[in-house]
Amino acid sequence: TTPALAMDGCSEKMRFLSLLLLVFLLSPRAEAGKIIGGKECKPHSHPHMAYLEIVTSGGQLGSCGGFLIRRDFVLTAAHCAGSSITVVLGAHNIKEKQDTWQKRKVIKQFPHPRYNKSTFHNDIMLLKLKEKAKLTLAVGTLPLPSQSDFVPPGRMCRVAGWGRTGVDKPASNTLQEVKLRLMDPQACKRYANFDHNFQLCVGNPRKIKSIFKGDSGSPLLCAGLAQGIVSYGQQNAKPPAIFTRISHYRPWINEILKKN
């Protein structure tokens, strides 16, 4: 099972009880590319999307997705933490700089205090930007669900990201999106540490559509709200994958935003 963060450098494997997890974050030369089974987004149709350029504590270069929730805050996955992070807003092709781009340094990272690197429980992190983003047609914020908004299985949602398009496929530079269904908890029984209370089981196992390396931290949009954050999936990219359930963390998010 694999987190969906992309990093340059040697791959690092972690053991989830009986499962061997390949951290999406540390796959060899896994630059952010495409979602599997999706299509290229219309440029700037997801103005909330953030591309995270990460320098790890070991000095490796990596990338994640994220999304703007306030002019000075981006929400992403906790396993996307690094020694330094630069956020690119207003991007479509992350290799072709445009006038729409806004690059912001992250001055403080707020990973959830109970984030567990072994189980990926509480895989959520807030990033405080050094300078507020300017809201434009290409850069905007994404609303979050309330604490009581427990999105149920069966809902069809969308996720966008710069992750790979296949297990062995090369990286793509443009933002991709795919429609994914929220599954019943039993569809994720292969994941020993899955907990329906604060995680989402996402992606029909009979489809080839899924998130993969490079998609970590990207939002799951359900009826215009960010209900989930890409956390991890299987090493072979077979759905379903696990997303962090945002509504469960609204009190913590609100506390950080209020203090900062």
Catalytic residue numbers?
A: 79, 123, 216
Q: Which residues contact 251 (CB under 8 A, 6 or more apart)?
A: 147
Contact between 158 and 221 under an 8 Å Cβ cutoff? The reply is: yes
Rounded CA separation 194/120 (Å): 9
Structural tokens at position 150: 């427990």
Q: Which residues contact 1 (CB under 8 A, 6 or more apart)?
A: 16, 19, 20, 21, 22, 191, 232, 233, 234, 235
- Using DSSP bridges, classify how beta strands 102-111 and 61-70 pair: parallel, antiparallel or unpaired: unpaired
Give the residue from 174, 93, 76, 91 showing the smallest Cα distance to 129: 76
In which region does residue 214 sit, left (phi positive, over 0), alpha (psi from -120 to 50) or beta (all else)?
left
Q: Which residues contact 229 (CB under 8 A, 6 or more apart)?
A: 75, 76, 77, 123, 124, 217, 218, 219, 220, 243, 244, 246
Rounded CA separation 139/135 (Å): 5
What are the backbone angles phi and psi of residue 255, rounded to the nearest 5°? -65, -45
Give the residue from 163, 218, 237 showing the smallest Cα distance to 7: 163
